[in-house]
């Protein structure tokens, strides 16, 4: 059985690498070169994201944590006693503790994350902090479907999607994802979503271009990962981190800008860059209460409650199917 499991894991690894390679080659073949932000999160990328959250400029994490602390009793009151809490993109699961503390009667916690390293570390820490809670980690790309482990079938599920990760999707993808969650969880389900709010552009730009350069390192790390996992030869130092505000689309965009004319080889294919040409690596949409409500409603959710923090504004929305 051990050999079979090892083979299955190797196959899954291989499938994942194939998808990563396919997406990377396709992304480098369009006029605006683009990568999906989901590939930021290898072990090093997940650690760099945690470091971003500690920078003075990146306000979303500490603002949302403060807000969740205040509203945890209201959220706990909306969650059924024996519910399974399913978190999408759980990372270090730090904010989850606020809900676990406020709702000790939960049947189980299911963290879903694309990074096995981040997931394993978080599960170990939570198991020692909450010894009587069932913790069932799932390594998965939640954009490809949401699986609740069989053992938990029949329990009410409350989904938790903090951090404004919803903002990393194009609006139509965000609607598709929220609709998929609603269909998966069924009638009466609840969905708790964190959504960062529009604010002065200087505050936004600083949050995505911190003085210490942690966000720049996070952005460039995707090139390091592509070199290592896909046998590419990106000259990582020849790409500059750029954060720009796209007012028409109400989003911060991150790019990697080629500082010189150069050619890069990925899996034997050559890609030419002009000096100043960019790879668009991430969108981070910023919402108003109304724009987020409209998105949730398009996906078939009703707004049960919403809380917006004091400046810098961050929103937590409680949705009901």
Residues that bind ligand AVI (CB under 6 A): 52, 60, 163-165, 167-168, 208, 215, 282, 284
Nearer to ligand AVI, 60 or 111 (CB): 60
Strand duo 33-34 + 251-258: pairing: unpaired
Min. distance of Cβ 153 from ligand AVI in angstroms?
30
User: What is the rounded distance in angstroms from the CA atom of residue 40 to the CA atom of residue 49?
Assistant: 9
Min. distance of Cβ 267 from ligand AVI in angstroms?
26
Q: Give how far Cα 8 sits from Cα of 39, 89, 203, 219, 240, Å.
A: 22, 23, 46, 31, 39
Nearer to ligand AVI, 156 or 240 (CB): 240
246: helix, strand or coil: strand
Nearer to ligand AVI, 58 or 271 (CB): 58
User: What is the rounded distance in angstroms from the CA atom of residue 189 to the CA atom of residue 265?
Assistant: 47
Min. distance of Cβ 245 from ligand AVI in angstroms?
13
Contacts of 236 (CB under 8 A, 6+ apart): 220, 223, 224, 227
For the residues of 198-210, what is the DSSP string, one character each? ---HHHHHHHTS-
Min. distance of Cβ 274 from ligand AVI in angstroms?
25
Min. distance of Cβ 181 from ligand AVI in angstroms?
17
Nearer to ligand AVI, 108 or 252 (CB): 252
Nearer to ligand AVI, 60 or 171 (CB): 60
Min. distance of Cβ 261 from ligand AVI in angstroms?
27
Nearer to ligand AVI, 142 or 208 (CB): 208
Nearer to ligand AVI, 91 or 121 (CB): 91
Nearer to ligand AVI, 46 or 293 (CB): 46
User: What is the rounded distance in angstroms from the CA atom of residue 193 to the CA atom of residue 206?
Assistant: 24
Min. distance of Cβ 208 from ligand AVI in angstroms?
5
Min. distance of Cβ 7 from ligand AVI in angstroms?
33
Q: Where are the alpha helices (DSSP H) in the chain?
A: 2-28, 43-54, 59-78, 96-102, 116-129, 171-185, 201-207, 214-230, 289-298
- DSSP lists the bridge partners of residue 159 as 86, 191
Name the closest residue to ligand AVI (Cβ): 284
* Cβ neighbourhood burial of 145 (10 Å; 0-12, 13-18, 19+): exposed
Contacts of 116 (CB under 8 A, 6+ apart): 139
Nearest CA to 81 among 62, 61, 54, 108?
A: 108
User: What is the rounded distance in angstroms from the CA atom of residue 26 to the CA atom of residue 20?
Assistant: 10
């Amino acid at each position: 059985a051990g050999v079979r499991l090892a083979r299955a894991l190797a196959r899954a690894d291989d499938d994942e690498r194939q998808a990563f390679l396919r997406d990377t080659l396709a992304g480098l073949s369009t006029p605006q070169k683009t990568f999906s932000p989901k590939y930021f999160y290898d072990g090093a990328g997940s650690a760099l994201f945690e470091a971003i959250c500690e920078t003075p400029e990146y306000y979303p994490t500490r603002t949302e944590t403060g807000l969740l602390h205040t509203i945890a009793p209201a959220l706990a009151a909306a969650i059924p006693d024996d519910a399974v809490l399913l978190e999408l993109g759980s990372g270090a699961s730090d904010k989850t503790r606020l809900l676990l503390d406020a709702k000790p009667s939960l049947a189980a916690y299911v963290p879903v994350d694309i990074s096995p390293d981040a997931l394993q570390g978080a599960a170990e820490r939570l198991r020692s902090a909450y010894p009587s809670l069932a913790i069932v980690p799932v390594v998965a790309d939640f954009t490809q479907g949401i699986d609740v482990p069989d053992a938990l079938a029949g329990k009410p599920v409350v989904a938790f999607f903090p951090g404004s990760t919803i903002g990393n999707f194009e609006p139509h993808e965000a609607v598709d994802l929220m609709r998929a969650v609603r269909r998966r969880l069924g009638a009466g389900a609840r969905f708790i979503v964190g959504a960062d709010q529009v604010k002065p552009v200087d505050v936004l730009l600083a949050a995505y271009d911190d003085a210490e350069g942690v966000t720049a390192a996070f952005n460039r790390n995707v090139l390091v990962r592509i070199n290592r996992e896909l046998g590419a030869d990106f000259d990582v130092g020849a790409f500059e981190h750029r954060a720009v505000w796209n007012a028409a689309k109400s989003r911060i965009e991150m790019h990697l800008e080629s500082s010189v004319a150069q050619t890069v080889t990925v899996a034997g294919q050559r890609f030419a860059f002009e000096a100043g040409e960019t790879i668009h690596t991430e969108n981070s949409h910023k919402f108003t209460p109304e724009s987020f409500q409209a998105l949730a409603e398009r996906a078939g959710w009703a707004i049960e409650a919403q809380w917006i923090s004091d400046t810098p504004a961050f929103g937590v929305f409680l949705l009901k199917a």
